[in-house]
C-alpha cells in the first residue's frame, strides 16, 4: 500500500511566522503535489514536483514555496504566514508513467489543518 505521511495533523501559527509542512511518501513515486482545501472551493493545487529539485507552480502558488531535496520528501513553506492561509493542506504523490495510457492516480496523505492567528 502507498503511504503518504504528513508531519502534523494540526498546526497553529501566528501571522508572520515561517511555517514548514512536511510530506513523505514511501512508494518511490516521482510526482508529488501540495493542495489546499477550503469549503466550497474544493482542492486547489499550490505546487507540484516531477523530480528531485524540480518544482512547478500550480494554480495558487502566491505566498508559498516548496523544496524537494530528496525523492521521498516534499516540503511546503509559508515564508510569512497570513490569516488567509488558514486551511487544510493535503499532500499527494503519484507514479510518473509516460505514454498514451498513463495511470497517474494520486494518493493523498491525511492532511494538515493549519490555523494562522
Partner 1 sequence: GQQLNQSPQSMFIQEGEDVSMNCTSSSIFNTWLWYKQDPGEGPVLLIALYKAGELTSNGRLTAQFGITRKDSFLNISASIPSDVGIYFCAGQNRDDKIIFGKGTRLHILP
Question: What dihedral do alpha carbons 87, 54, 1, 5 form, nearest 10°?
Answer: -40
Q: Is 109 an interacting residue with respect to partner 1 (CB under 8 A)?
A: yes
The count of residues in the chain is 117
Helices first, then strands: H and E counts in the chain: 0, 11
Give min distance, CB of 109 to partner 1, in A. Answer: 5
Q: Is 110 an interacting residue with respect to partner 1 (CB under 8 A)?
A: yes
Per CB under 8 A, which of residues 89..108 are in contact with partner 1? Answer: 90, 92, 101-108
Binding mask 40-79 for partner 1 (x = CB under 8 A): xxxx---------------x--------------------
Amino acid at each position: 500500500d502507498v503511504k503518504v505521511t504528513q508531519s502534523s495533523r494540526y498546526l497553529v501559527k501566528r501571522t508572520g511566522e515561517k511555517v514548514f509542512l512536511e510530506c513523505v511518501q514511501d512508494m518511490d513515486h516521482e510526482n508529488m503535489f501540495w493542495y489546499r482545501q477550503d469549503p466550497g472551493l474544493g482542492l486547489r493545487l499550490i505546487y507540484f514536483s516531477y523530480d528531485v529539485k524540480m518544482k512547478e507552480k500550480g494554480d495558487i502558488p502566491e505566498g508559498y514555496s516548496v523544496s524537494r531535496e530528496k525523492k521521498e520528501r516534499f516540503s511546503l513553506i509559508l515564508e510569512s504566514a497570513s490569516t488567509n492561509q488558514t486551511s487544510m493542506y493535503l499532500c499527494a504523490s503519484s507514479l510518473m508513467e509516460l505514454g498514451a495510457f498513463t495511470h497517474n492516480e494520486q494518493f493523498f496523505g491525511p492532511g494538515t489543518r493549519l490555523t494562522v492567528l
